């Protein structure tokens, strides 16, 4: 499997309080990769490192086959980027921003850009400083898409947008991906949003990559188990016990990862009884994952 | 690409360019007009030259002012956006900086032309006493060189990071501290004067500012 | 009591001391010589009394030949100024500095009362600078020696010595006179002529040619106002005779602009004094001779030698050219390129 983005042993430090250490990340080509993590976990910093906007202290970054930052201009020419905060020149009008941006991208699709302007109902003559947050979000997405990139890097693209605009933006992304088979790297702390569109997920917390796996594995592999007569020591369980909690009576609640239906036999072997297996949605799984990661054992 | 860079630079600095151009045109014209009363008295050439010379300071001040503001407008929007947009564009940093520099330099050619035209208009409308000559080309060239140099200085400073600005300020501070300490220790050592002397004399960078900014001279 | 009243009283005492009749001139001179010191002392006392009444109590400050009465609060500053003024005055006037002893200066806060006594008053603001007092002392000292007709003014300490020769260069180059142009090109007789050092020269005809005379009349308000309209019109229409007539009709030289005026003449005088040394000023003012002879005496050299030296100095002091030297242009471009390269290398890491 080829990777659109590869990071190896990435090390970066910002001040004394924040550090990214030994980060290894692989985004398969053509994947819709959701990059999850709470605020301040290092998502934006990782993206900036990925695009050559920040200089790592160590490690190796390869994007679309080009080494970053050495080959950043070549890579950026094939990458559409929507940053967390609007980064366009506020004193330009929408039309001027178009013309300025398109001048740097030989693959700029003017016809499609015009269509997107119509679809997004943007006023070409309006100053960027006068655009609403939703309009600005749509414009940023429009500029990233109209350059026909092989890779879309979207940093919290829907943060703060109303549901209608959010749907417009994500629909445009999905349409583009369906046409172009482009790779999308999308970061968010809105778990539900990614659950619907991503096929890969990476979870970041405190500068570390907590998990990286296909979305279906993530969604199906984390379960809440209700266990009676649970053993004190788990021993060689075929799953990963993320947490256990004593409930009413002798029944405990376990959160596990890597669960398979055939694993019920394990409980019989240790003298316990599995009363219930509950599917967790992505958000619950995400929360449990972080809680486990932050526990003193880790 | 350069056309759009020029366009954005124009959009950000058009008021400055228009105002600077008007002033640049007015200075040589006014310098000659204000000296007009001397023209009939040809033996008062010294007074005429004094009058012309009194306007001389306006050219380097205008050059420095235009350079500062042009450099500020060249980098201001990028500073405000913390350079994220500029750095995410698919051009090497040096290429981007060169485009920005070039756009500012092209726009600064307008006030230079205004000085030249103003100097030609001013000298054409004046009676120049025998023995004196008009130097519109030399004046415009001096203004152009001073403006270009000042723009390069402020553009380089503005292109730097906050850390770079800190280093520059620290350097200036260190010089002042050394001078103060030398004075306190009664050591005859004029470091500031020496540095200024080196910068203002040949082959110092500021030599172009020290020449005669005279539209009319011997 | 004013000085004048005191003098009258003293003269009356002298007159009454003995009848004039029967006395010979020598005896009278001897009597005057005896009384003169008394008169001077009385005059000084009268000055002091007079000034005290007008300015309040003053400190008396002396430095060589200089005597200055200063308000007590200004005294320290004035003392410094006098100490600085002395060597300057010595260098300018040489032995003639002694003449300053006969005069008094008053350095007092600026006041609205007009002072009518003897001596030079230097009114100063409440917090004057040392330079202000020094400059006033030097300028007013020049008044002691009077105006010189050839020079066209007083000779004193040059406040802007660094510009004096450059200004003279400008005057030499811009003078609309064939004589000045000849001088610029190296003709010493033309220099002498342009400076008005040739006795009996017909300046109207020799300083200017016909065209210059026409321009002179046409461009000078004085002639426009003074001339008969017909003569003025004839001159400006091209009649040189009319122009010459108009120029000759003026009573004094001041209406015929001198090709080399007081700026050049002062610089020539300064060159003469530099050549002549400490006694030069004395030579200059000490004899009622022609300007050329006085200059030669002051310089201790021939007029030609003096003019040659002056011309060389003036040409050397030519103002820095307006044209940008190639090396300046190149070095500016080089620095600009270096700084641009520095900007291009600005780090992308923020």
Cα–Cα distance, B146 to B213 (Å, whole number): 11
Task: Establish, for the pair of chains B and C, how many residue pairs have beta carbons separated by less than 8 Å.
Answer: 131
Nearest chain C alpha carbon to A54? C349
Nearest chain B alpha carbon to A75? B90
Q: Does C56 touch chain B (CB under 8 A)?
A: no
**Token pair listed for A114:** 């015009």
Q: Which residues in B lie closer than 8 A to residue A104 (C-beta atoms)? A: 1, 89-91
Helices C326-344, B93-124: crossing angle, 10 deg rounding: 150
User: CB–CB of C339 and B152 under 8 A?
Assistant: yes
Cα–Cα distance, B176 to B185 (Å, whole number): 14
Report the alpha-carbon angle A7-A10-A14, nearest 5.
135
Cα–Cα distance, A167 to A161 (Å, whole number): 9
Instruction: Tell me the sheet residues that pair with A33.
Output: A185, A200
pLDDT tens per residue across span B160-186 = 877 778 888 898 889 888 888 888 887
Q: Distance from A87 to chain B by nearest Cα, in Å?
A: 5
Report the alpha-carbon angle B170-B171-B176, nearest 5.
95
Strand, coil or helix: what is B161? coil
Q: Which residues contact C8 (CB under 8 A, 6 or more apart)?
A: none
Cα–Cα distance, A166 to A137 (Å, whole number): 9
Q: Distance from C280 to chain B by nearest Cα, in Å?
A: 29
pLDDT tens per residue across span A214-230 = 887 777 777 888 888 88
Task: Establish, for the pair of chains A and B, how many residue pairs have beta carbons separated by less than 8 Å.
Answer: 53
Q: Distance from C344 to chain A by nearest Cα, in Å?
A: 16
Neighbours of chain C (3+ CB pairs under 8 A): A, B
Cα–Cα distance, A277 to A255 (Å, whole number): 10
Cα–Cα distance, C61 to C107 (Å, whole number): 10
pLDDT tens per residue across span C229-255 = 788 888 889 899 988 888 887 654 456
Cα–Cα distance, A56 to A67 (Å, whole number): 13
Q: Is the per-residue pLDDT at C220 higher than 50?
A: yes
Pairing of strands B216-217, C59-63: unpaired
Q: Does C312 touch chain B (CB under 8 A)?
A: no
**What do you get for the CA distance between the two ends of chain A, in Å?**
31
User: CB–CB of B84 and A83 under 8 A?
Assistant: yes
Instruction: Tell me the sheet residues that pair with A225.
Output: A254, A277
Q: Which residues in B lie closer than 8 A to residue A54 (C-beta atoms)? A: none
Nearest chain B alpha carbon to C184? B131
What is the structure's pLDDT at A7? 92
What is the structure's pLDDT at C54? 63
Q: Which residues in C lie closer than 8 A to residue B45 (C-beta atoms)? A: 170-171, 174
Phi, psi of B207 (to 5 degrees): -60, -35
Nearest chain C alpha carbon to B97? C344
Helices C291-299, C303-316: crossing angle, 10 deg rounding: 80
C-beta separation of A137 from A81 below 8 A:
no
Cα–Cα distance, A190 to A170 (Å, whole number): 13
Q: Which residues in C lie closer than 8 A to residue A53 (C-beta atoms)? A: 348, 350
C-beta separation of B213 from B139 below 8 A:
yes
Q: pLDDT category, C15, cuts 50, 70, 90?
A: very low
In terms of DSSP H, where are the helices of chain A?
A: 43-50, 72-76, 94-102, 110-120, 133-146, 163-180, 191-197, 215-221, 264-269, 282-294
C-beta separation of C176 from B43 below 8 A:
yes
Q: Which residues in B lie closer than 8 A to residue C340 (C-beta atoms)? A: 98, 101, 152, 155-156
CA distances from C254 to B87, B165, C152, C222 (A): 74, 62, 9, 11
Cα–Cα distance, C333 to B152 (Å, whole number): 10
pLDDT tens per residue across span A47-99 = 999 998 888 899 999 999 899 888 889 999 999 999 988 888 998 999 999 89
User: CB–CB of B90 and A74 under 8 A?
Assistant: yes
Cα–Cα distance, A48 to B154 (Å, whole number): 28
**What do you get for the CA distance between the two ends of chain C, in Å?**
85
Q: pLDDT category, C1, cuts 50, 70, 90?
A: very low
- The model's pTM: 0.73
ipTM comes to 0.84
What is the structure's pLDDT at A80? 92
Nearest chain B alpha carbon to C318? B218
């Amino acid at each position: 499997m080829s990777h659109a983005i590869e990071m190896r042993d990435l090390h970066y430090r910002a001040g004394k309080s924040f550090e990214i250490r030994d980060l290894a990340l692989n985004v398969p080509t053509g994947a819709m990769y959701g990059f999850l993590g709470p605020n301040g976990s290092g998502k934006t910093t990782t993206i900036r490192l990925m695009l050559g906007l920040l200089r790592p202290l160590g490690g190796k970054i390869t994007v679309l086959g080009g080494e970053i930052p050495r080959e950043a201009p070549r890579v950026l020419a094939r990458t559409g980027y929507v940053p967390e905060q609007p980064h366009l020149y506020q004193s330009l009008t929408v039309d001027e921003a178009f013309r300025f941006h398109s001048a740097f991208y030989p693959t700029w699709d003017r016809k499609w850009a015009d269509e997107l302007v119509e679809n997004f109902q943007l006023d070409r003559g309006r100053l960027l400083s006068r655009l609403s947050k939703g309009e600005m979000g749509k414009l940023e997405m429009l500029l990233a898409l109209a350059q026909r990139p092989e890779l879309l890097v979207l940093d919290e693209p829907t943060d703060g947008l109303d549901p209608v605009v959010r749907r417009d933006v994500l629909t445009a992304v999905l349409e583009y991906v369906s046409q172009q088979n482009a790779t999308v790297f999308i970061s968010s702390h809105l778990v539900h949003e990614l659950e619907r569109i991503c096929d890969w997920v990476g979870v970041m917390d405190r500068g570390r990559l907590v998990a990286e796996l296909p979305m279906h594995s993530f969604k199906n592999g984390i379960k809440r188990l209700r266990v009676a007569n649970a053993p004190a020591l788990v021993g060689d369980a075929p799953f990963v016990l993320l947490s256990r909690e004593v409930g009413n009576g002798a029944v405990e609640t376990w959160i596990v990862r890597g669960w398979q239906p055939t694993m019920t036999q394990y409980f019989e072997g240790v003298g316990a009884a599995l009363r219930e297996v509950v599917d967790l949605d992505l958000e619950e799984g995400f929360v449990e994952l972080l809680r486990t990661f932050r526990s003193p054992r880790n | 690409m350069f056309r759009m860079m020029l366009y954005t630079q124009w959009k950000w600095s058009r008021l400055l360019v228009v105002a600077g151009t008007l002033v640049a045109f007015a200075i040589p014209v006014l310098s000659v007009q204000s000296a007009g009363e001397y023209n009939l008295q040809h033996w008062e050439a010294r007074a005429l030259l004094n009058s012309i010379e009194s306007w001389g300071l306006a050219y380097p001040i205008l050059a420095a002012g235009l350079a500062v503001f042009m450099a500020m407008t060249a980098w201001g929007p990028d500073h405000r956006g913390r350079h994220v947009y500029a750095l995410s564009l698919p051009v090497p940093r040096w290429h981007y900086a060169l485009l920005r520099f070039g756009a500012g330099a092209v726009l600064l050619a307008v006030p230079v032309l205004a000085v030249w035209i103003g100097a030609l208009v001013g000298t054409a409308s004046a009676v120049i006493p025998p023995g004196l000559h008009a130097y519109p080309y030399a004046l415009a060239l001096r203004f152009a060189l001073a403006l270009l140099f000042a723009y390069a200085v402020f553009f380089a400073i503005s292109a730097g990071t906050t850390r770079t600005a800190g280093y520059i300020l620290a350097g200036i501070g260190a010089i002042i501290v050394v001078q103060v300490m030398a004075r306190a220790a009664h050591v005859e050592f004029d470091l500031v004067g020496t540095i200024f002397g080196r910068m203002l004399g040949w082959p110092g960078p500021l030599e172009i500012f020290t020449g005669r900014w005279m539209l009319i001279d011997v | 009591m004013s000085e004048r009243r005191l003098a009258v009283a003293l003269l009356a005492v002298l007159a009454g001391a003995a009848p004039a009749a029967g006395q010979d001139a020598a005896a009278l001179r001897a009597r005057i010589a005896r009384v003169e010191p008394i008169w001077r002392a009385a005059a000084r006392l009268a000055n002091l009394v007079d000034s005290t009444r007008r300015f309040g109590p003053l400190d008396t400050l002396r430095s060589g030949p200089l005597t200055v009465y200063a308000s007590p609060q200004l005294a320290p500053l004035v003392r410094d100024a006098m100490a600085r003024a002395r060597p300057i005055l010595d260098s300018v006037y040489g032995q003639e500095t002694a003449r300053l002893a006969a005069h008094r200066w008053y350095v007092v806060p600026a006041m609205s009362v007009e002072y009518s006594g003897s001596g030079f008053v230097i009114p100063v603001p409440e917090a004057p600078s040392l330079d202000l007092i020094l400059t006033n002392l030097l300028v007013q000292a020049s008044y002691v020696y009077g105006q010189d007709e050839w020079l066209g003014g007083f000779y004193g300490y040059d406040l802007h010595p660094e510009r004096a020769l450059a200004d003279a260069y400008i005057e030499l180059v811009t003078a609309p006179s064939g004589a000045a142009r000849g001088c610029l090109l190296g003709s010493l007789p033309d220099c002498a002529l342009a400076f008005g050092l040739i006795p009996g020269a017909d300046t109207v005809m020799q300083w200017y040619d016909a065209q210059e005379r026409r321009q002179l009349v046409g461009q000078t308000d004085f002639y426009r106002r003074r001339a008969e309209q017909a003569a003025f019109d004839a001159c400006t229409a091209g009649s040189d005779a009319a122009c010459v007539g108009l120029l000759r009709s003026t009573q004094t030289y001041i209406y015929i602009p001198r090709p080399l005026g007081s700026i050049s003449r002062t610089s020539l005088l300064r060159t003469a004094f530099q050549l002549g040394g400490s006694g030069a000023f004395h030579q200059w003012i000490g004899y009622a001779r022609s300007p050329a002879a006085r200059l030669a005496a002051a310089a201790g050299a021939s007029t030609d030698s003096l003019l040659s030296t002056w011309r060389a100095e003036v040409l050397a002091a030519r103002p820095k050219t307006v044209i940008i030297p190639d090396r300046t242009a190149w070095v500016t471009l080089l620095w600009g390129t270096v700084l641009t390269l520095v900007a291009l290398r600005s780090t992308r890491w923020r």
